[in-house]
């Protein structure tokens, strides 16, 4: 990789004189201890944070657990609406939320490229800390590895999360029935378009912004209103289309959506048209698909609209007996067409 491969396309003010990550920061000795104690511990400190040992000791949870993991390799590291740190926290938090859990504890593991400016690292750790506060989770354990220049691209993060499953736990996509209604919690395609516009310097003004956010309050609103959720899923890689295809595969029914019902902002619509992309295939990082029983869609929307993050929630379709394809879309003129599953790589390194 070239020497500035970690440098975001949106400038962050890295000077030539800046201190940088060295291989010694990954070797288990004094340099690594200093990195952890001077730059990570003070920012992430909380009652359960394990600074002394490799494992955190955590109090017992009463009920069953949810456990999840995700690696983040987004490029660029910083983008309008977030950065790799916010993404790493919210991505794992949202995986717990859609499993029906209250997120409690996260682990945080860095793979750093030798030469990464320390102030870039610091900014990412600050973002992780702020995102954890916003999502009300604690970072409790971590790891740091350094690889030589060229063996990684700047900085990768892997987060894992533990949550407490809360009754009633959604039964999941295998439980879907014909007639169930399909909701998205907000406008679609914002994250993917924001990354692409930033990475490729497309020069839109204002720059499109990622929807990167924790879905904790959104799920809480559904729970508080006693909406009988059958399945929830954050529509990340592959977008809403990937979620619908996965669900259709599991329940062996058809997911039918209406094009005119999809909440798509004008900038996302414009950029997607320009680049020949379908917003249904574009990644989101703070938007989920929700399935509720027939007739529960309107009360679900009412609950969602109480929360600022999901105030543009929309009913986008319904589950049908298996028809012409696993997922179909009724176009604006009324024709029903198959909606392809994303196969290729429209947007690598989106998260």
Binding segment for a copy of itself (CB under 8 A), chosen from 79-87, 155-163, 297-305, 312-320, is 155-163
Minimum distance, C-beta of residue 244 to a copy of itself, in the bound complex (Å): 12
With CB under 8 A as the contact rule, the residue among 12, 14, 130, 165 that binds a copy of itself is 165
Regarding 221 and contact with a copy of itself (CB under 8 A), the answer is no
Angle between helices 216-224 and 84-98 (to 10 degrees): 20
Minimum distance, C-beta of residue 302 to a copy of itself, in the bound complex (Å): 27
Instruction: In whole angstroms, give the CA distance from residue 305 to residue 299.
Output: 10
With CB under 8 A as the contact rule, the residue among 45, 305, 331, 349 that binds a copy of itself is 349
With CB under 8 A as the contact rule, the residue among 39, 70, 202, 336 that binds a copy of itself is 70
With CB under 8 A as the contact rule, the residue among 163, 208, 297, 317 that binds a copy of itself is 163
With CB under 8 A as the contact rule, the residue among 64, 179, 228, 323 that binds a copy of itself is 64
Minimum distance, C-beta of residue 280 to a copy of itself, in the bound complex (Å): 12
Whether 327 contacts 255, CB under 8 Å: yes
Minimum distance, C-beta of residue 57 to a copy of itself, in the bound complex (Å): 6
Cα 31 versus chain centre, distance: 32
Per-residue mark of binding to a copy of itself, 269-298 (x: CB under 8 A) = --------------x---------------
Nearer to a copy of itself, 80 or 156 (CB): 156
CA end-to-end span of the chain, whole Å?
A: 19
Angle at 240 between CA 236 and CA 243, to 5 degrees: 80
Minimum distance, C-beta of residue 248 to a copy of itself, in the bound complex (Å): 12
Q: Kindly tell me the sign of the dihedral angle through the C-alpha atoms of 66, 289, 223, 176.
A: negative
Regarding 55 and contact with a copy of itself (CB under 8 A), the answer is yes
Which among 285, 284, 308 has a CA at the least distance from the CA of 218?
308
Q: What CA–CA distances, in Å, run from 315 to 51, 86, 154, 299?
A: 46, 28, 40, 11
Minimum distance, C-beta of residue 118 to a copy of itself, in the bound complex (Å): 16
- Extract the tokens encoding 309: 């993050």
Q: Kindly tell me the sign of the dihedral angle through the C-alpha atoms of 288, 186, 346, 110.
A: negative
Instruction: In whole angstroms, give the CA distance from residue 344 to residue 88.
Output: 24
Nearer to a copy of itself, 147 or 202 (CB): 147
What residues numbered 230-259 form the site for a copy of itself, per CB under 8 A?
233-234, 236-239, 242, 245-246, 249-250
Minimum distance, C-beta of residue 270 to a copy of itself, in the bound complex (Å): 23
Which among 135, 289, 145 has a CA at the least distance from the CA of 212?
135
Count of residues making up the chain? 351
**What are the beta bridge partners of residue 320?**
254
Q: Write down the residue that tokens 């609103």 correspond to.
A: 221
| CA atoms within 13 A of residue 344's CA, in its CB half-sphere | 3
What residues numbered 93-132 form the site for a copy of itself, per CB under 8 A?
95-96, 98-99, 101, 105, 107-111
What residues numbered 13-42 form the site for a copy of itself, per CB under 8 A?
22-24, 26-33
Nearer to a copy of itself, 188 or 315 (CB): 188
Minimum distance, C-beta of residue 292 to a copy of itself, in the bound complex (Å): 18
């Amino acid at each position: 990789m070239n020497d500035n491969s970690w440098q975001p396309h949106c400038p962050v003010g890295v000077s030539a004189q800046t201190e940088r990550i060295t291989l010694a920061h990954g070797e288990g000795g004094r340099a690594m201890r200093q990195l952890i104690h001077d730059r990570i511990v003070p920012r992430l400190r909380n009652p359960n944070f394990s600074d002394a040992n490799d494992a955190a000791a955590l109090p017992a949870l009463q009920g069953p657990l949810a456990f999840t993991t995700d690696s983040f390799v987004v490029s660029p590291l910083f983008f309008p609406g977030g950065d790799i740190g916010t993404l790493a926290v919210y991505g794992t938090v949202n995986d717990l939320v859609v499993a029906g859990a209250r997120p409690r504890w996260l682990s945080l593991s860095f793979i750093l490229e030798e030469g990464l400016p320390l102030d870039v690292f610091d900014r990412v750790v600050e973002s992780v800390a702020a995102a954890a506060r916003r999502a009300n989770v604690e970072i409790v354990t971590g790891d740091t590895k350094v690889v030589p220049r060229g063996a990684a691209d700047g900085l990768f993060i892997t987060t894992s999360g533990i949550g407490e499953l809360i009754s009633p736990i959604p039964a999941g996509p295998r439980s879907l029935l014909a007639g169930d209604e399909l909701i998205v919690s907000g406008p679609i395609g914002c994250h993917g378009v924001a990354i692409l516009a930033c990475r490729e310097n497309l020069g839109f003004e204002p720059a499109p912004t990622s929807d990167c956010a924790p879905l904790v309050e959104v799920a809480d609103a559904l729970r508080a209103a006693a909406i009988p959720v059958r399945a929830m899923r954050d529509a990340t890689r592959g977008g809403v289309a990937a979620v619908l295809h996965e669900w259709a595969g599991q329940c062996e029914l058809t997911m039918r959506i209406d094009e005119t019902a999809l909440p798509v902002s004008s900038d996302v619509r414009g950029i997607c048209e320009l680049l020949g992309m379908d917003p249904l295939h574009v990644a989101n990082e703070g938007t989920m698909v929700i399935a509720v029983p027939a007739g529960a869609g309107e009360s679900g929307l009412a609950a969602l609209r109480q929360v600022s993050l999901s105030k543009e929630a929309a009913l986008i379709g319904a589950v049908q007996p298996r028809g012409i394809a696993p997922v179909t879309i009724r176009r604006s003129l009324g024709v029903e067409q198959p909606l392809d599953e994303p196969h290729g790589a429209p947007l690598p390194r989106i998260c």
